[in-house]
């Protein structure tokens, strides 16, 4: 008898950290890249618009930084870590569907300076986030 459930393979990249609001964060050198998870895109449906923060803006953990709109709903995006915005994904302005097509790669929203490592360490890893999402479905 197999003990593993083949459907239990994580659909969330192991190198990211996650929030209960369904944002993800990747630490790459001195930069945090932020986006929303595939679970969030499934709940939203087809993304039609992404409002992003201004480069240079500073945010604390949990601050509202933008909005993502879809055919189903609009949802706020929150800063999962504190920091100053260093870059935004300008491609989403003309191609918001990238969020649905590639939420963990081409569909990233913005980047922050990686000065708040304790914020990053406090976020859920892929396994904890997957357990959290599974709990929402019940």
Query: Tens digits of per-residue pLDDT, 72-101?
Result: 999 999 999 999 999 999 999 999 999 999
Give the pLDDT confidence score for residue 82 in this predicted structure: 94
Q: What is the pTM of this model?
A: 0.89
Q: Are 11 and 104 in contact (CB under 8 A)?
A: no
Give the pLDDT confidence score for residue 115 in this predicted structure: 82
Over residues 108-136, mean pLDDT: 93
Q: End-to-end alpha-carbon separation of the chain, Å?
A: 26
In whole angstroms, give the CA distance from residue 111 to residue 24. Answer: 11
Give yes or no for residue 31 having a pLDDT over 60: yes
CATH 2.40.50.100 fits 15-136, yes or no: yes
Mean pLDDT of the chain: 90
Give the pLDDT confidence score for residue 117 in this predicted structure: 86
């Amino acid at each position: 008898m197999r003990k593993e459930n083949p459907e239990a393979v994580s659909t969330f990249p192991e190198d990211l950290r996650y929030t209960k609001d369904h944002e993800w964060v990747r630490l790459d050198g001195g930069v945090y890249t932020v986006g929303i998870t595939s679970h969030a895109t499934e709940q939203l449906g087809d993304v039609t618009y992404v409002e992003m923060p201004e480069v240079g803006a500073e945010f604390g953990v949990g601050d509202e930084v933008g909005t993502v709109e879809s055919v189903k709903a609009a949802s706020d995006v929150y800063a999962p870590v504190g920091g100053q915005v260093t870059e935004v994904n300008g491609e989403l302005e003309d191609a918001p569907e990238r969020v649905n097509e590639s939420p963990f790669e081409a569909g990233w929203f913005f980047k922050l300076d990686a000065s708040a490592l304790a914020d990053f360490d406090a976020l859920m890893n892929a396994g904890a986030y997957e357990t959290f999402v599974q709990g929402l479905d019940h």
